[in-house]
C-alpha cells in the first residue's frame, strides 16, 4: 500500500464503485418500505439553480442565508455495537477502575458489552425520514442513532448499502414531515466553483466550512471506480457522510475522505453517482453492476504509436474473458474501446465506471478501433460478480535466449508454470536488462511474452525469428501475461 493510500482517513474505510444505469434514475417519493421501480416514484427532491436557497444568495454577500436553510436537514449519526466475550470476569470492576479499562456499559445479558463505535454525518433526502450517509459510518453497527439540528433523536435502520461506493441509505423510525435537502447535478460542477460542507467533525455538530472544487474525477486508489470530487473545504473525521453543497443549496457530493499528511485536501463521492445507486439500494438493499468481461489498460503515447492511433484515447483490451459478454459479441484483445453508446472513453478508469453503471441485461454499442479502423459492436451487458484479487507472478529463470534489440532474455515456459497460468505458447521473460528498452517500457522478469506486433509467439525459436525482422528504432508492440492478467507494452527496439 502506498504512503498516500495509508494517509487516507475515511472514518473506517471508503470504497468507490458503481452499479445502476444513470439513465434509470429519476427523482422519487417514498411512501412505503420500498417503492416499485415500475411506478417511477419520487425518491428524492431534485435541485435546480432556482431553489429557495439559491434565491437567498442574490446578491451573494454571505453564506449565512444558505446555511440557515440547509442545516435543519443535516444530521449527526452515532452508532453502537454489541461486543460478545466468553465469560464474566469477577475482577472486571477492579481492572476497570484501577487499570484504565474503558467503562463500557454492561448489558443485562452476561457476556456482552455495548460500546460506542463511530460518529458521522448524514442528510435527509425525503421527509419520511430517508437519510444518506457513508457505509463506513454505519458498518457493523447494532444500533444507529440520528440526531437532528433541532435536538430530536431517532433510531435508524439500514435500508441499503454499497461498500464499494461507501454509500448507505437509512430510514428513521417513526419519522414524518422532516426537513430535506435537494440533490443537484455534480456533472455541472466546475473546478473553482464554491462549495459548502456541513457535518459533525470531531463530534462538533453542524459545523460549516467553505471552499472550492479543487479537481474532479480524482483517482486516489480507494477502489477500482474512484471518481472523487476534490475540495479544499475543511473536512475532518466525523464529516464522513455529510453533504457537500453548491452555492444554490443543492447537494453535489457526500464527504468521504481526507488526506492525513495534507491540509485542504478532502474528497466527496459525486451525487450523480449516488443517484445512480439509489433506486437499487431502496428497492433491494444492494447494487448490481454491469460486466463486460475484459482486461483493459490505458493507451500511452508509445502504445498509440504502435497501434496507429491518433492520440492517447480509449482503453486497450489486453484480454477477453472466456464466455463473457465481450467474447460473445466478438470483441478481441488488441481492440481499443473509444466509446460506449457514442460517449467518448478517455481511458480504462472511465470505461470501468461506465460499464459498471449499466444495468445488467441492457444492450449498448461499444465503439472500437481495430487494425486502425473504427467500428461499433452491440454488446449485452451481464451482471458483475465481486472483484477477485490478482497477484502478478514474479521471478527469474537462469539461461535462455538473450536479445539486445529488446533488452531481455527469454526461455521456454516451464510446463508447471504454463498449467498454473493456463496459458498456451509464449516464452518466459527470464531476465530484463536494467535501463534497456524492455525495462524502460515496464517489462518485468516473470512475464510471459505472448505476442510481438500481434504475431503469436509459441516458442523461443519463433521469438528469435520475429525479433530478427525488427528494425532498429521502430516501436514494437508486446502482449504479456502477468500473473492472471494480460497487458500490452510498447518497446522501442535498439540498434
DSSP string for residues in 140-190: T-SEEEEE-TTS-EEEEEEEEEETTTTEEEEEETT--S----EE--GGG--
Closest CA relative to residue 331, chosen from 347, 342, 316, 352:
316
Q: What does each C-alpha distance from 290 to 12, 365, 376, 441 come to in angstroms?
A: 27, 14, 19, 32
The residue from 209, 214, 240, 339 that is catalytic is: 240
CB under 8 Å, gap of 24 or more: what pairs does 82-87 form?
82/107, 82/112, 82/113, 82/114, 82/142, 83/112, 83/113, 83/114, 83/115, 84/111, 84/112, 85/111, 85/112, 85/113, 86/111, 87/111
Q: Where are the alpha helices (DSSP H) in 381-483?
A: 415-421, 437-441, 460-468
Collect the ranges in the chain with pLDDT lower than 70.
Answer: 1-41, 49-60, 82-118, 221-225, 259-263, 386-404, 495
Q: In this structure, are residues 154 and 146 in contact, taking their beta carbons and an 8 Å threshold?
A: yes
**Cβ count near 113 (within 10 Å):** 15
The grid cell for 390 is 490478482
- Report DSSP state, residue 195: E
Separation of CA 424 from chain center: 34
Half-sphere exposure (Cβ direction) of 411: Cα atoms closer than 13 Å: 14
Q: What does R_g of the chain's alpha carbons equal in angstroms?
A: 27
156 class by beta-carbon count within 10 Å (0-12 exposed, 13-18 middle, 19+ buried): buried
SS3 of 225, please?
Answer: coil
Q: For the chain, what are the domain ranges?
A: 64-98+115-287, 290-383, 404-493
Fold held by 64-98+115-287: Thrombin, subunit H (2.40.10)
Tell me if residue 136 is catalytic: yes
The confidence score (pLDDT) of residue 227 equals 81
Tell me if residue 214 is catalytic: no
Cα dihedral 370/376/378/381 (nearest 10): 70
The confidence score (pLDDT) of residue 13 equals 35
The residue from 166, 185, 246, 447 that is catalytic is: 166
Element (H, E) at 326: helix 325-329
Is-same-fold flag (290-383; 404-493)?
yes
Q: In this structure, are residues 314 and 202 in contact, taking their beta carbons and an 8 Å threshold?
A: no
Residue found by looking up cell 470530487 in the block: 229
The confidence score (pLDDT) of residue 273 equals 92
The confidence score (pLDDT) of residue 476 equals 87
The residue from 45, 126, 136, 206 that is catalytic is: 136
CATH homologous superfamily for the domain 290-383: PDZ domain (2.30.42.10)
Q: Which residues pair with 246 in a beta bridge?
A: 195
Query: Rounded CA gap, 173 and 155, in Å?
Result: 6
In the CATH hierarchy, which top-level class contains the domain 404-493? mainly beta
Q: Which residues neighbour 46 within 8 Å (Cβ) at sequence distance 6 or greater?
A: 27, 182, 183
Q: In this structure, are residues 160 and 169 in contact, taking their beta carbons and an 8 Å threshold?
A: yes
Query: Rounded CA gap, 85 and 68, in Å?
Result: 46
The confidence score (pLDDT) of residue 368 equals 95
Q: Where are the alpha helices (DSSP H) in 38-128?
A: 52-55, 64-70, 92-98
Tell me if residue 447 is catalytic: no
Amino acid at each position: 500500500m502506498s504512503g498516500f493510500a495509508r494517509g487516507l482517513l475515511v472514518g473506517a474505510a471508503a470504497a468507490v464503485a458503481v452499479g445502476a444505469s444513470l439513465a434509470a434514475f429519476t427523482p422519487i417519493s417514498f411512501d412505503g418500505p420500498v417503492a416499485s421501480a415500475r411506478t417511477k416514484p419520487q425518491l428524492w427532491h431534485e435541485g435546480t439553480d432556482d431553489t429557495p436557497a439559491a434565491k437567498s444568495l442574490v446578491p451573494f454577500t454571505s453564506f449565512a442565508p444558505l446555511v440557515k436553510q440547509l442545516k435543519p436537514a443535516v444530521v449527526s449519526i452515532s452508532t453502537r455495537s454489541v461486543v460478545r466475550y466468553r465469560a464474566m470476569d469477577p475482577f472486571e470492576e477492579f481492572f476497570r477502575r484501577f487499570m484504565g479499562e474503558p467503562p463500557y456499559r454492561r448489558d443485562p445479558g452476561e457476556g456482552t458489552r455495548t460500546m460506542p463505535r463511530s460518529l458521522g454525518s448524514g442528510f435527509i433526502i425525503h421527509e419520511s425520514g430517508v437519510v444518506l450517509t457513508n457505509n463506513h459510518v454505519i458498518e457493523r453497527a447494532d444500533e444507529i442513532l440520528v440526531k437532528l439540528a433541532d435536538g430530536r433523536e431517532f433510531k435508524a435502520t439500514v435500508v441499503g448499502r454499497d461498500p464499494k461506493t461507501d454509500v448507505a441509505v437509512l430510514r428513521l423510525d417513526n419519522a414524518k414531515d422532516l426537513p430535506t435537502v435537494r440533490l443537484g447535478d455534480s456533472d455541472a460542477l466546475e473546478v473553482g466553483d464554491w462549495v459548502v460542507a456541513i457535518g459533525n467533525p470531531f463530534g462538533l455538530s453542524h459545523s460549516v466550512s467553505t471552499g472550492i472544487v479543487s479537481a474532479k474525477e480524482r483517482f486516489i486508489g480507494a477502489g477500482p471506480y474512484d471518481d472523487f470530487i476534490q475540495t479544499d473545504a475543511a473536512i475532518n473525521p466525523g464529516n464522513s457522510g455529510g453533504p457537500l453543497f453548491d452555492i444554490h443549496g443543492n447537494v453535489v457530493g457526500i464527504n468521504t475522505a481526507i488526506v492525513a499528511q495534507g491540509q485542504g485536501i478532502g474528497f466527496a463521492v459525486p451525487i450523480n453517482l449516488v443517484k445512480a445507486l439509489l433506486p437499487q439500494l431502496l428497492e433491494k438493499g444492494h447494487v448490481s453492476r454491469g460486466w463486460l468481461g475484459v482486461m483493459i489498460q490505458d493507451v500511452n503515447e508509445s502504445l498509440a504509436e504502435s497501434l496507429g492511433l491518433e492520440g492517447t484515447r480509449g482503453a486497450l483490451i489486453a484480454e477477453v474473458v472466456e464466455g463473457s459478454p465481450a467474447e460473445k459479441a466478438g470483441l478481441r484483445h488488441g481492440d481499443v474501446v473509444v466509446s460506449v453508446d457514442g460517449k467518448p472513453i478517455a481511458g480504462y478508469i472511465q470505461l470501468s465506471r461506465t460499464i459498471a453503471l449499466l444495468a445488467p441485461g441492457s444492450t449498448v454499442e461499444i465503439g472500437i478501433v481495430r487494425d486502425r479502423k473504427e467500428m461499433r459492436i452491440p454488446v449485452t451487458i451481464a451482471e458483475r460478480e465481486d472483484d477477485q484479487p490478482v497477484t502478478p507472478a514474479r521471478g527469474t529463470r537462469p539461461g535462455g535466449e538473450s536479445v539486445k534489440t529488446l533488452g531481455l532474455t527469454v526461455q521456454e515456459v516451464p510446463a508447471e508454470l504454463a498449467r498454473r497460468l493456463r496459458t498456451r505458447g509464449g516464452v518466459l521473460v527470464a531476465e530484463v536488462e536494467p535501463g534497456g528498452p524492455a525495462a524502460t517500457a515496464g517489462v518485468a522478469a516473470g512475464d510471459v511474452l505472448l505476442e510481438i506486433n500481434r504475431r503469436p509467439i509459441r516458442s523461443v525459436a519463433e521469438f528469435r525469428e520475429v525479433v530478427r525482422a525488427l528494425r532498429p528504432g521502430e516501436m514494437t508492440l508486446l502482449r504479456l501475461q502477468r500473473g492472471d492478467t494480460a497487458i500490452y507494452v510498447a518497446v522501442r527496439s535498439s540498434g
